[in-house]
Amino acid sequence: MPPTRREKQHAITREEIKQIAWEQMRQQGTAAISLRGIAREMGLTAPAIYRYFPSRDDIITALLMDAYTQFGDAMEAAAQQPAPSIYEQIVTIGLAYREWAVNNRIQYELIFGNPIPEYAAPAELTLPLARRAFVPLISAILEAMQMSDWQPKAHIPTLTPRLIDAMQPRWTAEGVPLEGVYLATRFWTRVHGMVTLELYDHTPPLIGDASEFYRLEIISLLEE
Amino acid sequence: MPPTRREKQHAITREEIKQIAWEQMRQQGTAAISLRGIAREMGLTAPAIYRYFPSRDDIITALLMDAYTQFGDAMEAAAQQPAPSIYEQIVTIGLAYREWAVNNRIQYELIFGNPIPEYAAPAELTLPLARRAFVPLISAILEAMQMSDWQPKAHIPTLTPRLIDAMQPRWTAEGVPLEGVYLATRFWTRVHGMVTLELYDHTPPLIGDASEFYRLEIISLLEE
DNA sequence: TCATTTTAGTTAACACTGTTTACAGTTTAC
DNA sequence: GTAAACTGTAAACAGTGTTAACTAAAATGA
């Protein structure tokens, strides 16, 4: 049955609450959600917010899920762009990672940043979304590894028995080569380090043009 | 003139306040400082805290400066350990970075994590401390670049005019080669990405043994 | 030893927060 | 037209940071 007029209005009000909450986070950080502030902005009082979200935690969870969804959308869109080679597809994914982060930094901070006091993300909701965002990268790397001209194989260190033992329970059932997971993790941690230190203003004082540094590094990541 | 007995007691009380503040951050995150909570823990009321720190911001600033100082101490100590070669010294610094972060994760979160609502770190205090922490790494890399057996030079991409223009104003006066700054930034962003994604529990679900992954990657960073 | 000054701590107050309860007005469904 | 559901409010409770005024204790100087 299609939603009633009232249900539509309810959903619109939920979106409005979320938009104002995002704006509060942009202004004051991810830990700065204020229900009274949101209500004030809407011309309401704080108890009215409880008609739309059971608690402040539920608002934060909704924002976090939206952030993961948008992130996954961006990674999937990047992976689906036509690319001359699989290697350039990986570069495209890497560039898209930073672009999404720079253009959506408060979402990035919410996903990857410090915990919010007295809030714990419900893993049963966020883990599937987190995996979804990671899949385009690991798929591309696994595809690259199948290429006859696959080069960086030489640069994977020999996986130690200790690391193999740690990884196998998570990936053997899925038939995913451990070297692929290793390379995807390497790529991800490198990309993430550059983006995070740039967004939090640690590398720009050193390197000046963090965007250009990132571009050069993304390209050289596949030449190593 | 040596501090009076009263001044010593004052300093001891300031340290006690800071220790309790650290413990609050460990329990609830960097944004969770509560003056009333600190006072309660000490058997005082909240206004008493204002005898020792002008505001909540001043407590946070004191914690942040302590964190940067300890971090700089750890980097300097790592750089001063005897090492068979300059390359192994760089590895030692890299391993020390993670060890410090893992053992002092709330300090790491305070330095590198999300902003605390309505708090801005005073850059005139934190920037010198941040630079001090970075110096051991960049010194080691610059020393390595002087070695006759310096290898990774081939792996530095050609610095584009755009990046050179951005970097030169910051480093030319100090006579620091831009390639050295580039490599130090690369090393730092890679180390930081691995450590951050591990501490915030993003890579352990993928890679199982993040410590072993880190060790392998640190070693291979200088083999590339 | 006593008076003065300084320090340390408290209470009360103000303005903010999240959340709940009870109530009232409006809208929707029957 | 009426009952039910939804939406919003006021009041209340318990938390927060911060200030002002006050008091007691400790330190200093005469």
Residue with tokens 């909701």: A125
The model's pLDDT over B171-214, given as tens digits with 9 standing for 90+, comes to 888 888 898 899 999 999 999 999 999 999 999 988 999 999 99
CA of A44 to C1' of C25 (A): 15
Chain B residue closest in CA terms to A190: B190
Query: Does B133 contact A at CB distance below 8 Å?
Result: no
Residues 31-70 of A with CB under 8 A from B: 31-32
Which residues does strand C reach (CB under 7 angstroms)?
A 4-6, 33-37, 40, 46-47, 50, 54-57; B 6, 9-10, 13, 39, 43-48, 51
State yes or no: pLDDT of A6 exceeds 90: no
Which residue among B29, B203, B209 sits closest to A163, beta carbon to beta carbon? B209
User: Which chain B residues are closer than 8 Å to A185 by Cβ?
Assistant: 203, 206-207, 213
Q: Find which nucleotide's C1' atom is closest to B59's CA.
A: D17
Closest CA to B76 of B107, B97, B98: B97
The reported pLDDT for the residue numbered B61 is: 97
Kindly report the nearest CA distance between residue B6 and chain A, in angstroms. Answer: 36
Kindly indicate whether the domain formed by B60-221 is annotated with CATH number 1.10.357.10: yes
Q: What is the mean pLDDT of chain B?
A: 91
Banded model confidence at residue B38, pLDDT cuts 50, 70, 90: very high
The model's pLDDT over A72-122, given as tens digits with 9 standing for 90+, comes to 999 999 999 999 888 899 999 999 999 999 999 999 999 999 999 999 999
State yes or no: pLDDT of A1 exceeds 80: no
State yes or no: pLDDT of B153 exceeds 70: no
Domains B1-53 and B60-221 share a fold: no
Residues 145-174 of B with CB under 8 A from A: 155, 157, 159-160, 162-163, 165-167, 169-170
The reported pLDDT for the residue numbered B152 is: 58
Closest CA to B188 of B95, B94, B104: B94
A66 in Cβ contact with A121 (< 8 Å): no
Closest CA to A216 of A94, A52, A43: A94
Q: Distance (Å, rounded) from C-alpha B27 to C-alpha B34? A: 12
- Selected for mutation to probe chain A from B26, B68, B114, B131 (highest A CB count within 10 Å) is B114
- Selected for mutation to probe chain A from B97, B176, B206 (highest A CB count within 10 Å) is B206
Closest CA to B71 of A202, A2, A14, A5: A202
Give, in words, the CATH class of A1-53: mainly alpha
Structural domain boundaries of chain B? 1-53, 60-221
The model's pLDDT over B95-130, given as tens digits with 9 standing for 90+, comes to 999 999 999 999 999 999 999 999 999 999 999 999
Q: Residue A83 has which token pair? A: 């690319």
Q: According to CATH, what is the number of the domain A57-221? A: 1.10.357.10
> What is the enclosing helix (H) or strand (E) of B190?
helix B178-199
The reported pLDDT for the residue numbered B219 is: 85
Banded model confidence at residue A224, pLDDT cuts 50, 70, 90: low
Closest CA to B45 of B54, B56, B35: B35
User: Which chain A residues are closer than 8 Å to B134 by Cβ?
Assistant: 206
The model's pLDDT over A121-159, given as tens digits with 9 standing for 90+, comes to 999 999 999 999 999 999 999 898 888 777 655 577 888
Which residue among B155, B207, B213 sits closest to A220, beta carbon to beta carbon? B155
